[in-house]
Chain A
Amino acid sequence: MNITQSIREALESLTANKLRAALTILGIVIGVASVIAMLAVGAGAQDTIIGSISGIGTNLLFVFQGNLQQDIRNEQPLTMGDVSAFSDVFQAPHIEGIAPTITGNIGVVYEGESTTVELRGVTPEFENVRSYGLIEGNFITDDNVNGRASVALLGPEVADKLFGRREFLTGETIRIDGQPFRVIGVLEAKGGGSFGSQDNVVLVPITTARVRLLNRERDHVDVVFVQAIDASSVPLVYEEISQILRTRHRTELGADDFTIFTQEDFLSLAGTITNVFTIFLGGIAAISLLVGGIGIMNIMLVSVTERTKEIGLRKAVGAKKTDILIQFLTESIMLSLFGGIIGIIFGWIISMVVGRIAAASSTPFSPVVGLNAILLATIFSTAVGLFFGIYPANRAANLEPVEALRYE
């Protein structure tokens, strides 16, 4: 008996019981489909997260007050004094730009349209450090900062909500927290991110925000964005800033009252999350394939019992043990392989649908059905068929011809 013959016979016997075969492979279909779909969505999500983290800027460090790991006595806030200390080229030679910010959520109104936005008080350097572009107008200037000017830059999402357009807004007046602000420009879209939409923002001079909107004490700042001159100097900048702050805050040894994150920290955090996600999905896949495999084993055992007489006859006309073994193994492998293939197609369709839904809800996000996911699913489902087919096939192969022929 050669392979094509075995496959043809297996197909014949499977198609003789189409409904049963279909129900049997359902477990495998669902398992493989969910794995393919979730892997695709997971890969798409990872791409989006990494894209949005990179989209914040390049070679960035985020400095903020407090220590996340331990309680610090006499914790000192970050101040504009600290920020200007960073610009000391002797103590911190690897810094490209520094952008102190204060942040809060606040209501914005224009002629009856109102929305809540993330308000950021910024300095002119924010534009380069966070690599924002402008659709129109100009960025906040030093004069604006020094004069606590009532000027605002709108994020594209805010412009959409308040005006229904993104252009010709310069010179309009909006009210932030009830106070009139003149619009001096509109920011380019950066896309949604894992830290909330980067487009639902309003930028104002840091001094204006501190005094008139968010009411921070003296010259405190919330987050300082520091840009290193290149990727390899990020760790150096990390050390330089730490050293400056330790000296200025007179911290005890090993008890920093500030925290510094780098973009790589966020990327590796995102990587950890997606890895956990993948392991979790792998678990689901393993369970559903296990259940599907048991289903196949069950139905193959039924099939062996039903066909005892056929097995007896095949042995009577000269079938050896291995012939019968291969016949039944082929059937169970075909079952699970079909399940795997149908599952891959279903999973692909599901991930396409998820992609469409994501697109419709304006979250740019494309699921990726990887070739390795398809290969993995195919190999695994075949292996499941082989593994769970061995016992029934072995049982068939070891039937005594006399007993089998006598079976009614």
Chain B
Amino acid sequence: MGKKENVILAKGITKVYQMGEVKVNALSGVSVKIGRGEVVSIMGPSGSGKSTLMNIIGCLDRPTSGAYYLDDHLVSNMTDDQLASVRNKKVGFVFQNFNLLSRSTALINVELPLRYAGITEGRREKAVQALESVGLEDRLNHKPTELSGGEQQRVAMARAIINNPSMILADEPTGNLDSKSGREIIDLLLNLNKEFGTTLIIVTHDPKIAKHTRRVIELYDGLVKGKKKK
């Protein structure tokens, strides 16, 4: 990567959970740098802290200590509403279980981030465009129950990219899919990265998926085990 610009700059991130009387160190000093346009996978066994790291990177949670800059903005000490706004504009989430609104059509689901961004005009057009880019132009008015797993995940991806985020954060995006549609989803994600230069972070425990990414961050016991560059 020739660019110096970092989308993510995390220094000495720790996260401590109070479980009754016991303090659990989910992250004990993680420093990560991810440049714009990179494709990175975060791996690690369960309990390694990868979900916690993902939550912090995705601005869903705040670190106990350490500094986290997203697009050069210090987000580790923002208020809840400021974080909501950052998530809305800079982060596109793709979850393992899709997390679509089951009562609403694909179009409404994709529009959702635009609604919370306060955008009132041209929402529909943008949503249609996003759905086209994931190949669902003929499923605009289908509800999630009328779509296959792969299609649902593609709706979720359209929702993730609609606000032109700085990064897409995919948490086990293929975990609930068969291998064929899983591969399609990964291809689509990589394609989005290539086409729009969107930074892509995939949290997974599947080495086959990690193989597709240029860089793997491995976590173990709340620490970065090693950064493999290919």
Contacts and interface: CB of A to CB of B under 8 A. Distances in A.
Interface of A: 1-2, 5, 12-13, 16, 309-310, 312-321, 323, 400-402, 405
Contact of B115 (A5, A400, A405): A5
A315 B83 CA distance: 10
B81 A320 contact: yes
Contacts of A315: 60, 84, 87
A13 B80 CA distance: 26
A318 B84 CA distance: 5
A320 B88 CA distance: 10
Interface stretch (B93-101, B129-137, B180-188, B216-224): B93-101
B67 interface: no
Given A12-B103, A13-B103, A405-B95, A318 B60 contact: no
Contacts of A5: 115
A328 B95 CA distance: 24
Given A309-B99, A317-B93, A318-B89, A1 B60 contact: no
- Residue among B60, B85, B112, B118 with max Cβ neighbours from chain A (10 Å): B60
Interface string B116-141: 11101000000000000000000000
Contact of B93 (A309, A316, A323): A316
B101 A313 contact: yes
B50 interface: no
B84 A405 contact: no
Interface in B60-103: 60-61, 80-81, 84-85, 87-89, 93, 95, 99, 101, 103
Contacts of B163: 318
Nearest to A319: B116
Given A16-B103, A402-B60, A318 B85 contact: yes
Given A316-B93, A318-B89, A321-B80, A310 B101 contact: yes
A317 B61 contact: no
Given A16-B103, A313-B95, 4 more contacts: A317-B88, A317-B112, A318-B88, A402-B61
B103 A320 contact: no
Contact of A402 (B55, B101, B112): B55
B178 to A, nearest CB: 22
8 contacts: A310-B101, A316-B99, A317-B93, A318-B88, A318-B163, A319-B116, A320-B116, A405-B60
Nearest to B171: A405
Contacts of A2: 120
B153 to A, nearest CB: 14
B60 A401 contact: yes
- Residue among B84, B93, B113, B116 with max Cβ neighbours from chain A (10 Å): B84
A317 B113 contact: yes
Nearest to B80: A321
Nearest to B97: A309
A5 B111 CA distance: 12
A318 B81 contact: no
A318 B99 contact: no
A405 B99 contact: yes
B104 interface: yes
B103 A317 contact: no
Interface string B34-56: 00000000000000000000010
A64 B95 CA distance: 90
A12 B104 contact: yes
- Residue among A316, A321, A323 with max Cβ neighbours from chain B (10 Å): A316
Contacts of A317: 87-88, 93, 112-113, 116, 159
A318 B93 CA distance: 11
Contacts of B60: 315-316, 401-402, 405
B224 to A, nearest CB: 21
Contacts of B95: 313, 405
A314 B116 contact: yes
Given A401-B60, A405-B95, A320 B112 contact: no
A1 B103 contact: no
A237 B104 CA distance: 78
B99 A323 contact: no
A401 B169 CA distance: 15
A316 B87 contact: yes
A401 B99 CA distance: 13
Nearest to B112: A317
B103 A318 contact: no
Contacts of A16: 103
Contacts of A1: 115-116, 118
Contact of B117 (A312, A316, A318): A318
A320 B84 contact: yes
A400 to B, nearest CB: 8
